[in-house]
Every structure is written in structure tokens, then in C-alpha cells.
């Protein structure tokens, strides 16, 4: 099966053709935002990182930033830095250069302040935009897709409708040779034994136990009851009673294919098929990590309703019930609640989700894109020095 995508120099396929203005350090955020705002057609992010990282977290931040900027959905990237930060535009540009991606850099101190940096950045961003405009979609095989999955603002129905329907679509994708990622390690606690059964070999099995036991030990070390945060107050209102219940519903969204690999947060999978990314359940942090790992599309189920999107990747919303579908009609792409109404089955909604993923990968806009949602957040793993 084919979809229409942009083939990049390194052979990977983009489903969007963005020019991204990205600050490598928080101090460059306002300049990055100004440049992007003054060059319509570009997208931007801000974040709180880029300085004060130590040891493993430094490597982690470089992997996240270069992975996100290097996602094939970004045709070109303008990196904006201050000049005295730990993670400089030049450092990330060097990583991105390996993929052949078009990259430019701006340094605020080097250029003599905000006004000059914005002026220089605008010129560079305009050029990147012109160059990106030359790219054309071509038919490419579905096996080139990496789909990130997430469930956010879940209710009990998420595990009965939207997650199994998305899981059905994910099984179709994996059968067609694509890669599907599930993450949210906290929401594997209580469901490890099920994931273990799906693991393709002992190494994957061992990694599943390693990431879940590390996550649980971290939570326990805080000396508090995880309930109240997982499940969240909204989850509990929606009927989710325990983390175990949430987990058993959550893991259904990736389908039932063999789990072929466990990767770190923002680490690109080296295998095709169903992959686990070790990452937080926080919606935006999770999406950012999967996009940095190479996901071109995010399929996102919700019971309570959430509007989130991404600056560079389409996020498809699938509601678990018809009430939220109608009350947040602007934000939801597909209603799996129709399964409960007796109008649809898990299989029929699953097929609808699969088709939507192919259409969106070929250029159809998601609700989150139409509404301009571009949330972005990076997982911090160490103390700020």
C-alpha cells in the first residue's frame, strides 16, 4: 500500500514539509518565535532547556533536539542560539548534517543582539522556505511510516473503544511493514506480564521488565501513593480506579503484534514493527519523544478530550465516547464512541483509523493542525545545574 510523502536526502519520508525555527537554548526562545512569526509558513517551538545539563542528561538533550529537528517532516531547520549555552546551534547542526537536511544557524551574541539576530534569522528562514517549496510528494510504501501512539485524558472507555480500535489499525500498519511506537512506561505497570507475552525474544522481555521496574522504583522513592497522579483526577472521574486498570487499557492502543524492540526516549528504532519507547505518560513530553524518535504521525486517543498537536507532526484525535466527540467536535478527528452506540465495531473504527492515518500522511490536515495546536515539551531527566 502507498501514500504520498516527501523523500528526503537520507531516504526517510516526510509527511509534512515544514521549516522549523528551533531555539537550542531557552535564552533564544523569544528571538526564535519572533523570526517565525515574521516569516509566515514557518513553525517554531520554545522550551526550557539547552543549558545546565550534566552527564547523561546532556547526551539526552542532544538526542532529543537533533532527533526532533531531524524528523523528516522538517524540510529545513533554523537553529537559534545565544552563544554561551551548553547546547549550541552548531552542535545540533553537526548532528543534522549527517542526514543531509538543510540547516542554518543564528547566534544572538555573535550578531550583536535581538534586532540583528531577528533580521538575519528572517532572511535565512525565507530562503529555507523557498527551498522547501521545491519538494514534491511522491508515492511511497506504507512501510516507510513510523506512527507514534498515545492516550491522553483517558477514561475507562478508552480501553474498551478508542485504544482497541487504534490497536486494530496498528496491527494493519505493522502487517503492511510499518513501525508503531507505544510509550508511557508508567502505564505499563500492572500490564508487564501481557507485554512480556508479546515480546519477540528474551532480550526484549528483559528490557520491558527493566524499564517498568526502574519506573516503579523511581515513583516509590518519592514516598507517595501514585494514585492521584496516575490515574489522574480526570481519569478517576471517568471511572478509572487504579493504575493497573489504566495500564491494561492503555497497552491495547499499539495492537497485538510482536514487540520487536525497546528504545530510549527519542531514540530512533532500528527495527520495523511494534516498538516500545521508554518515556513519560505526560502527553506533550511523550509526543515530542516519539517525533524525535522519527514518528511522522501521532495517533492519539482521548476520553476526556484534549486539543494537543505538534509543530511538525500531525496528531490524529480519536475519542473513546460520543459525548466528548460532540462536546469537543472541533478537536476530535474520529469517534470510537460509535462502537458503544451500536453503530460501529472495533474493527470498522480500526479500519477508519488506518485509512485516516494514510490520508493524513498524504497531506490531509488534522483538527489539531487546522486549529494551530503546536504543543512541545522535552523530558528532563536530571537536576538543572
Partner 1 sequence: MVPQSAIIVDAKDNVATALRPLEQGTSVHLETEDKSLDIVLRQAVPMGHKFALKDIEPGEPIIKYGETIGRATRKIMKGEHTHVHNVEGLRGRGDR
Binding site for partner 1 (CB under 8 A): 155-157, 159-160, 186, 189-191, 193-194, 216, 219-227, 230, 236, 238-245, 247-249, 303, 321, 323, 340-342
Cα–Cα–Cα angle for 132, 372, 15, nearest 5°? 40
- Of the candidates 147, 166, 195, 146, the one whose C-alpha atom is nearest the C-alpha of residue 303 is 166
Least distance between partner 1 and beta carbon 190 (Å): 5
Cα–Cα–Cα angle for 251, 341, 166, nearest 5°? 25
- Which of 238/350 has CB closer to partner 1? 238
- On whether the CB atoms of residues 254 and 180 are closer than 8 A, the answer is yes
| Burial call 75-97: b when 16+ CB within 10 Å, e when fewer | bbbbbbbbeebbbbbebbbebbe
Least distance between partner 1 and beta carbon 342 (Å): 4
What is the enclosing helix (H) or strand (E) of 237?
Answer: helix 233-237
Least distance between partner 1 and beta carbon 164 (Å): 10
Per DSSP, the three-state class of 302 is: strand
Least distance between partner 1 and beta carbon 220 (Å): 4
- Which of 156/310 has CB closer to partner 1? 156
Least distance between partner 1 and beta carbon 243 (Å): 5
- Of the candidates 82, 70, 100, 116, the one whose C-alpha atom is nearest the C-alpha of residue 9 is 100
Least distance between partner 1 and beta carbon 291 (Å): 27
Residue 333 phi, psi dihedral angles, 5° rounding: -90, -40
- Which of 136/193 has CB closer to partner 1? 193
Examine residue 79 and say whether the peptide bond preceding it is cis (omega within 30 degrees of 0). Answer: no
Question: What is the rounded (10 degree) CA torsion for 59, 64, 66, 67?
Answer: 130
- Which of 94/341 has CB closer to partner 1? 341
- Which of 125/211 has CB closer to partner 1? 211
Least distance between partner 1 and beta carbon 161 (Å): 9
Q: Within 10 A of 243 (CB to CB), how many other CB atoms are there? A: 24
Q: Which residues contact 173 (CB under 8 A, 6 or more apart)?
A: 142, 145, 147, 180, 255, 354, 357
Least distance between partner 1 and beta carbon 112 (Å): 51
- Which of 139/223 has CB closer to partner 1? 223
- On whether the CB atoms of residues 103 and 128 are closer than 8 A, the answer is no
Helices (H), 42-135: 56-69, 89-97, 108-111, 114-132
- Which of 223/383 has CB closer to partner 1? 223
Name the grid cell of 288: 515530542
- Which of 19/243 has CB closer to partner 1? 243
Least distance between partner 1 and beta carbon 47 (Å): 28
- Which of 306/321 has CB closer to partner 1? 321
Q: How far apart are CA 73 and CA 174, in angstroms?
A: 21
Q: How far apart are CA 70 and CA 3, in angstroms?
A: 21
Amino acid at each position: 500500500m502507498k501514500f504520498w510523502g516527501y523523500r528526503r536526502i537520507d531516504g526517510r519520508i516526510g509527511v509534512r514539509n515544514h521549516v522549523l525555527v528551533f531555539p537550542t537554548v531557552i535564552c533564544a526562545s523569544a528571538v526564535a518565535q519572533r523570526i517565525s512569526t515574521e516569516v509566515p509558513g514557518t513553525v517554531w517551538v520554545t522550551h526550557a532547556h539547552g543549558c545546565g545539563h550534566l552527564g547523561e542528561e546532556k547526551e539526552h538533550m542532544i538526542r532529543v533536539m537533533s532527533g526532533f529537528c531531524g524528523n523528516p517532516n522538517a524540510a529545513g531547520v533554523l537553529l537559534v542560539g545565544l552563544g554561551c549555552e551548553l547546547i549550541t546551534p552548531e552542535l545540533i547542526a553537526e548532528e543534522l548534517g549527517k542526514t543531509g537536511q538543510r540547516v542554518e544557524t543564528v547566534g544572538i551574541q555573535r550578531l550583536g543582539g535581538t534586532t540583528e539576530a531577528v533580521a538575519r534569522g528572517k532572511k535565512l528562514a525565507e530562503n529555507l522556505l523557498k527551498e522547501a517549496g521545491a519538494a514534491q510528494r511522491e508515492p511511497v510504501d506504507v512501510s516507510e511510516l513510523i506512527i507514534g501512539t498515545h492516550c491522553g485524558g483517558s477514561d475507562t472507555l478508552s480501553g474498551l473503544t478508542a485504544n482497541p480500535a487504534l490497536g486494530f489499525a496498528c496491527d494493519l500498519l505493522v502487517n503492511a511493514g510499518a513501525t508503531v511506537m507505544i510509550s508511557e512506561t508508567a502505564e505499563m505497570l500492572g500490564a508487564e506480564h501481557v507485554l512480556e507475552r508479546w515480546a519477540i525474544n528474551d532480550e526484549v522481555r528483559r528490557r520491558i521488565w527493566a524499564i517498568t521496574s526502574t519506573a516503579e522504583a523511581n515513583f516509590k522513592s518519592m514516598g507517595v501513593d501514585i494514585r492521584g497522579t496516575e490515574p489522574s483526577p480526570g481519569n478517576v472521574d471517568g471511572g478509572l480506579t487504579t493504575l493497573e486498570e489504566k495500564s491494561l487499557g492503555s497497552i491495547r492502543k499499539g495492537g497485538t503484534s510482536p514487540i520487536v524492540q525497546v528504545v530510549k526516549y527519542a531514540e530512533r528504532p532500528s527495527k520495523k514493527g511494534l516498538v516500545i519507547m521508554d518515556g513519560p505518560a505526560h502527553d506533550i513530553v511523550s509526543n515530542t519523544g516519539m517525533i524525535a524518535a522519527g514518528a511522522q504521525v501521532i495517533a492519539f486517543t482521548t476520553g476526556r478530550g484534549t486539543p494537543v498537536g505538534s509543530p511538525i507532526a500531525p496528531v490524529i484525535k480519536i475519542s473513546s465516547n460520543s459525548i466528548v466527540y460532540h462536546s469537543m467536535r472541533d478537536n476530535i478527528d474520529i469517534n470510537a464512541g460509535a462502537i458503544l452506540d451500536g453503530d460501529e465495531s472495533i474493527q470498522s473504527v480500526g479500519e477508519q483509523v488506518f485509512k485516516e492515518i494514510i490520508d493524513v500522511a498524504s497531506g490531509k490536515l488534522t483538527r489539531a493542525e487546522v486549529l494551530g495546536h503546536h504543543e512541545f515539551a522535552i523530558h528532563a531527566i536530571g537536576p538543572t545545574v
